[in-house]
């Protein structure tokens, strides 16, 4: 948002905005951080750089920054109502049990089609941080992979409680986007809810405020998983997957080949199936499905499976999940960790021990 700036403060938001020559748009209490997020608009002939510089002069202003825009990580194409669900190596093979029923997983995404047949009977709760409540494809797809209750898309964490925090809207070109502001609201809600696992299937540039919020969520014992990005071989892993507290997941196909659009880099932790994955999508019939590809699909599968990981299931030791997941992965590509597959195919530790 080129005409908006953000900052946090414990003082009067309106007074600070006026003093800095800005128009107050919104003041948002962030309970998890114990402060207030202020959204302010630039006036005519002002610039983002000048506004940020003025804000740094106030001792009551913390972390002034732009209101960045993020987008989800998938593409889609129509598919017949039959397809191999998750394929070789997908976590669906290691998480089809009832132990998930006592667990909670959260996702920050688009709104979900709660009435879709694939989610009928799912323990799904949704909270909106956007004005448009119309169900969208990306969030519905991710929710079906995690908590799908039907035979077409059996969720990897079927029976678990799924919290959907909808922060993304669709542009006219079909791309789902969210601002720092809406994501901050959703992350605050996620921190307060304190689920076992949080899935973040989106990406963008480094965001200082959201980074602090991910730190706080990690401190509260939540395992955070993120899609490693669909920018291609020349694009680095975006935030939040680049954050050190996050398990970054890339996508591969059923033949264990890398997804052609996946971002690459040393920050990738593990890989999971995310190409031509069969998912639920909204279209008014309550029974529509598609094949979708992207690191978003892979991260959803890993996030659901992590409900069975000791570090996320009860020990509340999320800082251990990255090294544990890397150690348990099945090596792919070049020996050892590499910028394409990370440590390799994601496996839960108990699954790797059974494979030897």
Residue pLDDT, tens place only, 91-124: 443 344 445 667 999 999 999 999 999 999 999 9
146-155 average pLDDT score: 89
Domain boundaries, the chain: 4-67, 70-355
Tell me how far apart the alpha carbons of residues 86 and 82 are, in angstroms, rounded to a whole number.
12
Please name the residue that has the structure tokens 């694939």: 118
Kindly list the strands in the beta sheet with 62-66, ordered across the sheet, starting from the edge strand earlier in the chain.
23-30, 35-41, 4-9, 62-66
> What band does 235 get if pLDDT is binned at 50, 70 and 90?
confident
DSSP reduced 3-state for 350: helix
CATH fold, domain 4-67, is Alpha-Beta Plaits (3.30.70)
In this model, does residue 349 exceed pLDDT 90? no
Beta pairing partners, 123? 161
Domain made up of 70-355: CATH architecture = 3-Layer(aba) Sandwich (3.40)
In this model, does residue 90 exceed pLDDT 80? no
This prediction has a pTM of 0.92
206-234: per-residue pLDDT in tens? Answer: 999 999 999 999 999 999 999 999 988 88
Kindly list the strands in the beta sheet with 288-293, ordered across the sheet, starting from the edge strand earlier in the chain.
75-78, 288-293, 277-281
> What band does 77 get if pLDDT is binned at 50, 70 and 90?
low
Is there a common fold for 4-67 and 70-355?
A: no
As a dihedral over the C-alpha atoms of residue 199, residue 35, residue 37, residue 249, rounded to 10 degrees, the angle is -20
Burial track 133-161 (b if 16+ CB lie within 10 A, e otherwise): eebbbbbbbbbbbbbbbbebbbbbbbbbb
310 burial type by CB count under 10 A (0-12 exposed, 13-18 middle, 19+ buried): middle
143-172 average pLDDT score: 93
User: What average pLDDT is seen over the chain?
Assistant: 90
**Do residues 245 and 318 lie in contact, with contact meaning Cβ atoms separated by under 8 Å?**
yes
């Amino acid at each position: 948002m080129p005409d908006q700036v953000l900052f946090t403060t414990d003082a009067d938001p309106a007074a600070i905005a006026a003093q800095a020559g800005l128009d107050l748009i919104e003041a948002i209490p962030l309970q998890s951080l114990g402060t207030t997020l202020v959204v302010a608009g630039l006036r005519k002939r002002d610039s983002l750089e000048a506004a940020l510089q003025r804000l740094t002069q106030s001792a009551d202003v913390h972390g002034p920054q732009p209101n960045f825009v993020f987008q989800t990580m998938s593409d889609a194409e129509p598919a017949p109502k039959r397809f191999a669900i998750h394929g070789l190596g997908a976590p669906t093979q290691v998480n089809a049990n009832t132990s998930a029923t006592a667990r909670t997983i959260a996702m920050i995404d688009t709104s979900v089609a709660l009435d879709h047949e694939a989610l009928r009977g799912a323990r799904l709760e949704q909270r909106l941080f956007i004005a448009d409540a119309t169900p969208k494809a990306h969030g519905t797809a991710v929710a079906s992979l995690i908590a799908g209750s039907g035979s077409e898309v059996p969720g990897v964490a079927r029976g678990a409680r799924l919290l959907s925090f909808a922060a993304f809207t669709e542009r006219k070109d079909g791309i789902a986007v969210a601002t720092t502001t809406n994501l901050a609201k959703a992350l605050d809600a996620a921190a307060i809810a304190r689920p076992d696992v949080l899935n973040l299937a989106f990406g963008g540039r480094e965001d200082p405020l959201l980074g602090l919020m991910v730190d706080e969520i990690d401190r509260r014992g939540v395992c955070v998983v993120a899609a490693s990005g669909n920018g291609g071989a020349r694009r680095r892993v975006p935030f939040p997957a680049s954050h050190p507290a996050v398990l970054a997941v890339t996508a591969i196909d059923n033949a264990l080949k890398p997804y052609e659009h996946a971002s690459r880099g040393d920050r990738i932790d593990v890989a999971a199936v995310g190409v031509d994955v069969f998912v639920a999508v909204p279209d008014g019939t309550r029974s529509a499905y598609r094949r979708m590809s992207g690191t978003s699909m892979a991260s959803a599968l890993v996030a659901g499976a992590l409900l069975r990981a000791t570090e996320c299931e009860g020990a509340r030791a999320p800082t251990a999940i990255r090294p544990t997941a890397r150690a348990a992965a099945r090596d792919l590509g070049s020996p050892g960790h590499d910028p394409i597959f990370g440590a390799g195919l994601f496996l839960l530790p108990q699954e790797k021990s059974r494979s030897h």
